[in-house]
Each structure stands twice: as structure tokens, then as C-alpha cells.
Amino acid sequence: MKRFINPDKSTWKSLIKRSSASYDSLEPLAKSIFKKVEKEGDLAIRGYTLKYDKVQLKSNIVSSDEISTAAQRIPKKLKIAIQKAKNNIEVFHKAQITSTVQVETQPGVSCWQKKLPIEKVGLYIPGGSAPLFSTVLMLAVPAKIAGCNKLILCSPPDNKGMLPDVILYTANLCGVDYIFKVGGMQAIAGMTLGTESIPKVDKIFGPGNQFVTVAKQLATKYQVSIDMPAGPSELMVVADKTGNPDFIASDLLSQAEHGPDSQVILVTNNIKIADTTFEKISEQLENLERKVTAQKALNNSKVICFDNDKDMLEFVNLYGAEHLIVCLENETEFVDLIKHAGSVFIGNYTPESAGDYASGTNHTLPTNGYVRQYSGVNLDSFLKAITYQKITANGLVDLGPVVEEMAAAEGLEAHKNAVSIRLKTLK
């Protein structure tokens, strides 16, 4: 990790930069994959699975037998843990249910808003050496609570053409309707365009690498919406003398082990905390199975020391971290002034991994500074709001002249006539 002491504000822009490929550099590949999937359907999907996942599949559909066999292999202790996490996630997301909003804006003019579920949603679950079955919980649980009609899940197969048992178990537990052994850009293309086997969806959810992120962005050009442009994971820890270096080191490493393109940052006003955290990282790193991956991420990560809380807060808001841990003596005051973050973890005993798995909040969050525009996945992500209005005759008599005046001012005569004709009948 590189260290910076009271960096001049002119350098802050470079300090908040993430290492990620640009959309322009990956868009041609995404477009070619989408075009081929649109033309050839499942045949193209199988071809890309062979090319990128190094396995030839007769079918990319996960059978009910595969699901039941996988469930039998899951240890009871893990099943209990997953069910407990599922319950906490359900409790938090059910609390987000809102009732219909209805109001009479003026006598005789009633307006209301009702939320309805998005019918078909696609859930992308990254694979690789660390299959994120927890992401199945984070996406499928709120989708079911929202009332989505069809849940379609895609995840890349291993070199034997299988998905991890725990992903299949969790998906079945959460009520996913279709599970496919498809990953990468081709999975996003399949859910966007539809194939002989993969249903076309209305919205795509889920994290992924830079390739998946670009494919999701391309999907929006095909009338399919996405949750957010989420890319490589990131974590920022803000700590003063009250922070625990052992805890801080473990949190930084927990995100660094996600992948070599992950970024972790420690921001502190205490040099001793920085020095001791360095030592603890070195100690803990030696015992990690994913040591090589974590080390690569640490090479692109930073420790930034400031003299005062004001600069710390300003830098934290400028960076806009996906995950933000706050370990400060004045934590309440500091947290109240945070404007940009995906999810905030407060205090020494709130590890980021609790939010990743089981506290109840959603771990599907915007990265790369998109916290300024996007929220993390929540219940409303799976809903769409429709507005309604009903105007009585008396209501139109009062409101009509307002509409006529405004339509005339914009030069839209037909808009005015739609009101004027009605008012004439009422006279």
C-alpha cells in the first residue's frame, strides 16, 4: 500500500482514481457478442462458454436433479447459516414496503401512486474461485418480496460444467425459477435478448468484473434496465486513535481478497494507527489462502494521513466508497456529514463482511464513484411506480383554465383543445 501524508488538494483527483478498463475499450467485444447471441441464440452461448469457460455443454439449463443432489451435499451448519442470513435480509427488505400514496391536490383532482413489481428479472452471480452465493440472497430475496413474476439466474460453470452446490441450494431456497450455467458478457447478452432457453428479462441485477459491467451498460440500449454499473469491489476505512489496527487490517484484507483489481484505502489522522495497521496487514496476509490475489490488490491501494477531521471528511465524500467503515471517537457527527457512500459500517465491531453476508442490508452496491448517482440494491429496485389521476367535472372547471393558459403559452393548441372541448360541454 502506498502512503500519502497530507496530500495537496491538487493531487486528490489522482488519489481517488480507480484502476478499471474504459467502456470504449471493451464495447466492441460486447457488441460482437450481443450481435452473435441475437443471431444464433443458444448456439452462440455454448460457443462462448467453450471459449471463455473452457467447457462444452450440451445444455446450459440446471436440472431439478442437479439442484436436489447439490442440496444433499451442503453441510447442515452452512444451511442454518444461510437460512439465518436469509431471514435477516427478509426482515430488512420487508420493512421497506410502502403503501399507496394518494392525495387530492385540489378539490375534484385526485392523484395517487402505486408500486408494481418488475415482471422478469435477471440475476447475475459471479463465479470463479469464490462463488458468491451470498449475492443470490441479496438479489433473490428482495425480488420475491417485491413480487417479481420470474427470476432468471445466470452464473459461469466450472471446468466440469457445474455450478457450485451452494449457489444451487441458495437459489432454490430463495425461489429462483430458472438457473443457467452461463457467465460473462454472454450471460448478460442472453438475458437481454432472450434465446431458445434463456428468457428475455426486463431488468438485470448483480455485480461482475469489468466485462460484465460493460455488457450491462450495453444492455440498456436494448430496452433492458440494470441495477447499476457495479465493477471491482472497494473499501475505505476512516479511523483515528480509537480504531483497532487488527480489525482495520482484517477489513482491508477482506476486500483485497475479492480480486486483484479491488481497491482498499485507509484514511486516518493518526500516524501510529497507520504504522500498526501496516504491521497487522503483513501478519494476517501470510495466513490467507488468497494471499496472492490480496497482495495484488494491496499494490494498488493507499493509506492517506491527514492532520484534521475536516480534510478527512472532504476526502471521504470526494472518493465516494462502495463500503465505508467509520471508526472514530466522534463517529455520530462524522457519519451525519457523509454525503456519498454505498453502505456505511459504524464502529469497531461492525465488520464490512457482516453486511456482505447476514446483517440484513444489501451488499449489491455502486462502485467507481457511482454512489453519487446510484443507490445500492433495495426493495424499490425491483418495483416500478405508476401514477394515476382522476378529475371530476367540478375539478376540471377549476383546473381547466390553468391547463389552457399553460398550453397556449407553449403553443400546443391541441393540448388546450383537449380541455376547452370538455369545458364547453360542462357549460
Handedness of CA 291, 296, 297, 298 (dihedral sign): positive
Q: Which helix (H) or strand (E) holds 391?
A: strand 383-391
Distance between CA 393 and CA 419 in Å, rounded? 11
| 138 touches 171 (CB < 8 A) | no
Distance between CA atoms of 224 and 235, rounded to whole angstroms? Answer: 29
Q: How many residues in the chain?
A: 427
DSSP 143-197: HHHHT-SEEEEEE---TTS---HHHHHHHHHTT-SEEEE--HHHHHHHHHH--SS
Nearest alpha carbon to residue 209 among 329, 117, 127, 91:
127
The residue annotated as part of the active site, out of 257, 322, 352, 363, is 322
C-alpha cell at 209: 468484473
Q: Which three cell numbers mark 264?
A: 482498499
Q: Is 322 a catalytic residue?
A: yes
**323, 331, 333, 340: the active-site residue:** 323
Q: Report how far apart the first and last C-alpha atoms of the chain are (Å, whole number).
A: 78
Helical residues (DSSP H) of 320-412, grouped into ranges: 331-336, 352-357, 393-409
Nearest to 180 by CA among 159, 204, 161: 161
Decide if 38 is catalytic. no
Which residues carry out catalysis?
322-323
